[in-house]
Amino acid sequence: MGASLGGIVGLLTQDALAAEGGAQALFRALILVDIVPQIQQGGEKRVRHFMAGHPQGFATLDEAATAVAKYLPNRRRPSSQEGLRKNLRQHADGRYYWHWDNRMMAAFARAGEGLLHERMQRAASRLTIPTLLIRGELSDVVSAEGAADFLQTVPHAEFVEVEGAGHMVAGDDNDVFVDAVKRFLAKL
């Protein structure tokens, strides 16, 4: 299961493993969370800008929560910031940093959006394992048309759209998200 960038990695890894004949041993199924080859450029840029922001980290969890609140203004801010700990790592200097590596994000940008999307489309067209696409109804990264294109490319894929959720589907409606994943996994 991969959300956003994790979904890109999962899709491309599945394709690379399948090309080598080893995919079935590692991946039994693939769940893509709000990611398809036809990504909306505006939403993608907004995500990339957020991910590249704050390279100096955060002094406190509350400071990180404020950054998230600015990024997701429509989401209610949790009363506790403790949930952010799973998305941050604390360095020896005491500051909190996102788990992702900004150098990796820069490498993606240098690789060129067109090439990445082309590789993702090719990988999607070769998917044979059970696949579930979960899309946030209000996503600015995956449009309804992008989801429909993916489902046409991968006709065996199942699809769930989470009402009222944006790109951060699991965080926007975790109960609906988890139920969709459980239903899919129960069929395997």
The whole-number pLDDT of residue 22 equals 62
SS3 132: strand
Domains of the chain: 2-43+104-186 (3.40.50.1820), 48-98 (no CATH)
Helices 113-125 & 144-153, crossing angle to 10 degrees? 40
- What is the per-residue pLDDT for 47? 83
Beta bridge partners of 156: none
Q: What is the pLDDT of residue 109?
A: 66
- Whole-prediction pTM: 0.84
Paired tokens of 142:
């995956």
- In tens, the pLDDT along 126-160 reads 999 999 999 999 999 999 999 999 999 999 999 99
Q: What is the C-alpha to C-alpha distance for residues 124 and 132, in angstroms, rounded to an integer?
A: 12
164 contacts 138 by C-beta, under 8 angstroms: yes
* b/e 40-66 (16+ beta carbons within 10 angstroms → b): beebbeebbeebeebeebbeebeebbe
Name residue 37's amino acid.
P
Residue 122's pLDDT is 93
Q: Specify the pLDDT at position 129.
A: 93
Please choose, from the candidates 124, 121, 128, 134, the residue with its C-alpha nearest in 3D space to the C-alpha of residue 169.
Answer: 134
Integer angstrom CA distances of residue 186 from 76, 155, 159, 182, 183: 31, 20, 15, 6, 5
Rounded to 10 deg, the angle between the 5-20 and 113-125 helix axes is 50
> What parts of the chain have a pLDDT lower than 50?
none
Question: Cβ(153)–Cβ(135) under 8 Å?
Answer: no
